[in-house]
Structure 1
Amino acid sequence: MAIFGYGRVSTREQTTENQRLEIENAGFKVDYWFTDEGISGKTHASQRPQFVAMLDKIRDGETLVVSRLDRLGRDAEDVLRTVRTLAERKIEVIVLQLGKLDLGSSAGKLMLTMLSAVAEMERSLLVERTQAGLVRAKAEGKTLGRPSKTTPAQREEMITKYAAGETISALARTYGISRASVLAVVNPSREPTGMGPDGVPCAVVDWSDRRKSRGA
C-alpha cells in the first residue's frame, strides 16, 4: 500500500520541503507527495486544489501522513470532517505533531472525540459573536441585511399606488423589483391581509394579474 504525504504553506515564498523531510525522517517513505503553496490555513480542505487531487489519487486502505493537524483543515470542525471522510475509506491518517498518532486507533478516536467537542465550542462561539455583532449594529443604528433597491420616495409611491388599487405585479414591473419586495413595502408587518373560507387568516392573492395574463 502506498504512503501519501501532504504539505501546505501560506505563501509561495515558503517551501513545503521541510515538511516532507520531517515526514521522511520520522520513518515514512513517501510514494506520492502533494503540496498546496500560497494557500492560507483559513481555506477549507475541500477548497485546496492539491489536497483534493490527493484525495482523488489515494486508494482505500492506503496511508496519509501530515506533519501537523492543521494540514487537514482550517479549524476543528473542518479537520473532523476530513478525518471522517478518510476513515470511511479505511485510509490510515498519521499526524506527526501528535506523536505519529494514527487517528484510526483507540487513542486517535479519543482525539477525534476531543476534536468534536472543540468543533462544537467553535460553532457556539461563532453564533455568540454573530448575535453580539447584530445587537451592537442595531444599537448603533446600522441597517442590517441587503440595501434596499428603492428610495424612500419610491416606497411611499408604492404604498399610495397600492392603496389606489394598483396590483402587486404591476408595481413590481414598474420599480423593477420582485413581488416579495413589493409586499415587504406595502405590508411590512407581514400581517394577514384576508380571511380564508374556514375563518383562518390568510394572504390575499393577486388574482387580477393572473386573469389578465390569461386573457380573462
Structure 2
Amino acid sequence: MALVGYARVSSVGQSLEIQEKALSEAGCEKIFAEKRSGLTAKGRRQLEDALDYVREGDTFIVTRLDRLARSVGDLFAIIERLQGKGVAFRCLQQSGVDTDSSTGRLMMAILGAVAAFEADIRKERQLEGIARAKARGVYKGRKRQIDAHEIRTLQEAGMGPSAIAKKMSIGRASVYRYLAKEPQ
C-alpha cells in the first residue's frame, strides 16, 4: 500500500516545488509531476504514467482538485479508473475530498463542478474583454510572426518552400499556406 502523488502546473514558468514538497510531507513515496495545461487529461504523460503505476490498495494524492482535472468529466473518468483498480483518492488542501466516504465523493463532485464553472467564467470574461477591445479598435490579435516579404523575396530568388522554412525557422506548411494565398 503506497502513497503516490501527482503534481501539475500549467506553464513552464511556474514551479512544481510547492506541490512536490507537500506531497513528500504527506508521505508520498513516488511523485509524478508535469508542466501541462489541465484543461484536458489528454496528452498528460505523467498523469497517464501515474495512473498506470498505482496498484490495488495504493492511495493517489494531489494537493488540490484542479491540479488533477479542470472538467467534471475528466475528474470522474480519472476517479473511476482509480476505483476500478482498487486505488483510493485523497486531496491534501481540500480536506474531506476523497473516495473513502459518500460525503467525500459528494464534496469531490461539488468542487469539480465549481472548478469547471470557474474555468467557463474565466473564458467568458476573456472573450468579453477581447470583444470590448476590438470594438474600441485596440485589439488587433496576435502580431504576425512571419515576414511575408521575406518569403516572397526568397521564393523569387529561386529558393523552394522547404529551404525557405529552414532558413526562416518556420514550418514548411506555413510557407505553403502563404504562397497559396498570395498571387504569383
**TM-score bucket of the superposed structures, by smaller chain:** 0.5 to 0.7
Amino acid at match of 2:131: L
2:101 to 105, 124, 134: 105
The answer (yes or no) to whether the contact 1:83–1:93 under 8 Å persists in 2 is: no
* Counterparts in 2 of 1:56 and 1:99: CA distance versus 1, 3 Å: same
The answer (yes or no) to whether the contact 2:54–2:60 under 8 Å persists in 1 is: no
The answer (yes or no) to whether the contact 2:60–2:90 under 8 Å persists in 1 is: yes
In 2, the alpha carbon distance for the partners of 1:13 and 1:52 equals 21
Quote how far apart the aligned CAs of 1:97 are: 2.6
* Counterparts in 2 of 1:14 and 1:106: CA distance versus 1, 3 Å: closer
Residue of structure 1 in register with 2:25 after alignment: 21
What do you get for the CA RMSD once the two structures are aligned? Answer: 4.1
Identity %, equivalent residues = 12
Amino acid at match of 1:33: K
TM-score (norm 1): 0.47
Quote how far apart the aligned CAs of 1:85 are: 2.0
Residue of structure 1 in register with 2:64 after alignment: 69
Unaligned runs of 5+ in 1: 25-29, 152-172, 183-216
Quote how far apart the aligned CAs of 1:69 are: 1.6
Q: Deviations over 1:63-99 (max 9, x none)?
A: 33325225743x643x762443232441321123333
- Compare 135-144 and 105-114 and name the one that shifted more: 135-144
In 2, the alpha carbon distance for the partners of 1:34 and 1:127 equals 34
In 1, the alpha carbon distance for the partners of 2:80 and 2:131 equals 39
1:55 to 47, 51, 55: 51
1:99 partner SS: coil
Quote how far apart the aligned CAs of 1:62 are: 4.2
Amino acid at match of 2:105: K
Unaligned runs of 5+ in 2: 9-13, 150-175
Residue of structure 1 in register with 2:80 after alignment: 87
Larger Rg: 1
Q: Deviations over 1:92-143 (max 9, x none)?
A: 2112333364236321232233221331242133123213213313422543
Residue of structure 2 in register with 1:5 after alignment: 4
* Counterparts in 2 of 1:89 and 1:7: CA distance versus 1, 3 Å: closer
2:115 aligned with 1:118: yes
Residue of structure 2 in register with 1:190 after alignment: none
2:128 aligned with 1:131: yes
Superposition map of 1:132-171 within 5 A: 132-144=129-141
In 1, the alpha carbon distance for the partners of 2:63 and 2:16 equals 19
1:123 partner SS: helix
* Greater length-normalized contact order (CA 8 Å, ≥ 6 residues apart): 2
